[in-house]
């Protein structure tokens, strides 16, 4: 979808303190061979006071402050997450609507796994276009990969999972960046790649050794062994990634290689090169990998977190184009091209 009047007015992020990979290796959580493949330096790990919803509220507050909009200007809040939000039988979207927007607008969760934040751009754009009284939408993303459900160091061999939150304010009024285009691709036939051969359960049970801690690589292998095969899985994944990026960049009037900044999920170096950059014909040094290797793959937060990082480091200049792409289990891919209109001014330190 090509857009003429969709803007990013503010971004924010909040990440807890990083745990060095050296510590993980010394503790037996990680190994030297995997570090050489991933190039990972550390992973941000939430403390006892860093719940998933509270981190989202911190990032959302920063994004709203940077946008300079009143709470009453917001008609929508979309919260993206990959998993547990602090409590079962509870609405995290309403919590964020109350804490960040003072109860204004309406709130919904987006469960497109690690692509949730990017996928929410299209949803927010459609909502804002549906009524002239809807000025702005807030997208928040937050994830925490805590034990015993997750083993952040071994869930998937190509990456390390980090904790944190990010947010973006989308508006119909001019902001520091304009969204030129967004494209999404989906491959529902690959949902089994994260289900493997596991049966459905009535309730989560971390004591169930077959299902926990979650091993994405074991589930992928289980799915591949039942017919499709790993080569065909990755062929279809590559094709959908390429199509999402091609449509978004074509609608924006650029080639992928024309982008001044490339934002992808915070995968390890080898995984990023093999599963993203090589299929697209792009170089590692054009990406935010140097930032991501200190954070880890923090679920749905990576893209807005990276954009916030670029702004805080003074690396965004008028006229630049940023190519942002999310990849979510299921599988789904969303790619967006953003044009920088002015240098964003960070609002205070990261909370």
CATH, residue 279: 3.40.47.10
Domain boundary among 140, 175, 210: 175
Are 42 and 153 in the same domain? Answer: yes
Are 160 and 20 in the same domain? Answer: yes
Q: Which pLDDT score is estimated for 350? A: 58
Domain boundary among 158, 175, 192: 175
Q: Identify whether 346 is part of a domain.
A: no
User: Domain count of the chain?
Assistant: 2
Place of tokens 């690589």: 217
Helix, strand, coil content of the chain in percent (nearest 5): 40, 20, 40
The SS3 call for residue 152 is coil
| 88 φ, ψ (degrees, to nearest 5) | -85, 160
CB contact at 8 A, 165 and 58: yes
Nearest to 266 by CA among 109, 39, 59, 45: 39
| 65 φ, ψ (degrees, to nearest 5) | -60, -45
Q: Identify whether 2 is part of a domain.
A: no
Cα distance between the two ends of the chain = 34
The SS3 call for residue 177 is strand
pLDDT tens per residue, range 234-289: 999 999 999 999 999 999 999 999 999 999 999 999 999 999 999 999 999 999 99
Are 272 and 198 in the same domain? Answer: yes
Are 50 and 23 in the same domain? Answer: yes
Are 162 and 191 in the same domain? Answer: no
Are 170 and 268 in the same domain? Answer: no
Q: Rounded distance, CA 240 to CA 185, Å? A: 6
Domain boundary among 130, 151, 175: 175
Q: Identify whether 345 is part of a domain.
A: no
Q: Which pLDDT score is estimated for 132? A: 67
Is the pLDDT reported for residue 351 higher than 90? no
Are 163 and 283 in the same domain? Answer: no
Are 163 and 14 in the same domain? Answer: yes
Task: Round the average pLDDT of the chain to a whole number and report it.
Answer: 94
Q: In this structure, what is the dihedral angle of CA atoms 306, 307, 312, 315, given to the nearest 10 degrees?
A: 100
pLDDT tens per residue, range 298-309: 999 999 999 999
* Full domain range(s) for residue 59: 7-175
Q: Identify whether 50 is part of a domain.
A: yes
Q: Which residues pair with 136 in a beta bridge?
A: 74, 171
Q: Identify whether 1 is part of a domain.
A: no
């Amino acid at each position: 979808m090509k857009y003429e009047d969709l803007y990013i007015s503010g971004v924010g992020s909040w990440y807890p303190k990083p745990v060095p990979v050296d510590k993980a290796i010394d503790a037996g959580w990680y190994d030297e061979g995997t570090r050489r493949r991933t190039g990972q330096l550390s992973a941000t790990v939430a403390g006892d006071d860093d719940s998933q919803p509270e981190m989202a509220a911190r990032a959302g507050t920063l994004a709203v402050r940077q946008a300079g909009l009143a709470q009453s200007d917001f008609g929508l809040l979309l919260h993206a997450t990959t998993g547990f939000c602090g409590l079962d039988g509870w609405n995290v979207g309403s919590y964020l609507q109350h804490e960040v927007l003072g109860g204004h607008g309406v709130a919904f969760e987006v469960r497109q796994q690690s692509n949730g934040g990017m996928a929410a751009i299209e949803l927010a754009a459609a909502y804002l276009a549906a009524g002239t009284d809807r000025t702005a939408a807030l997208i928040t993303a937050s994830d925490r990969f805590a034990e015993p459900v997750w083993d952040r160091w071994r869930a998937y061999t190509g990456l390390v999972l980090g904790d944190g939150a990010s947010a973006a304010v989308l508006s119909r009024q001019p902001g520091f960046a304009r969204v030129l285009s967004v494209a999404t691709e989906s491959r529902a036939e690959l949902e089994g790649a994260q289900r493997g051969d596991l049966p459905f359960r009535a309730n989560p049970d971390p004591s169930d050794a077959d299902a926990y801690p979650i091993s994405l690589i074991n589930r992928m292998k289980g799915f591949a062994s039942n017919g499709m095969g790993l080569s065909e899985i990755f062929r279809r994944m590559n094709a959908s990634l390429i199509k999402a990026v091609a449509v978004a960049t074509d609608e924006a009037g650029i080639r992928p290689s024309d982008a001044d900044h490339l934002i992808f999920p915070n995968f390890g170096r080898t995984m990023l090169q093999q599963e993203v950059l090589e299929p697209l014909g792009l170089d590692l040094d054009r990406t935010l990998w140097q930032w991501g290797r200190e954070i880890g793959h923090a679920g749905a937060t990576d893209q807005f977190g990276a954009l916030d990082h670029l702004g805080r480091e003074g690396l965004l200049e008028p006229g630049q184009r940023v190519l942002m792409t999310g990849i979510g289990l299921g599988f789904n891919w969303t790619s967006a091209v953003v044009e920088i209109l002015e240098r964003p001014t960070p609002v205070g330190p990261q909370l």
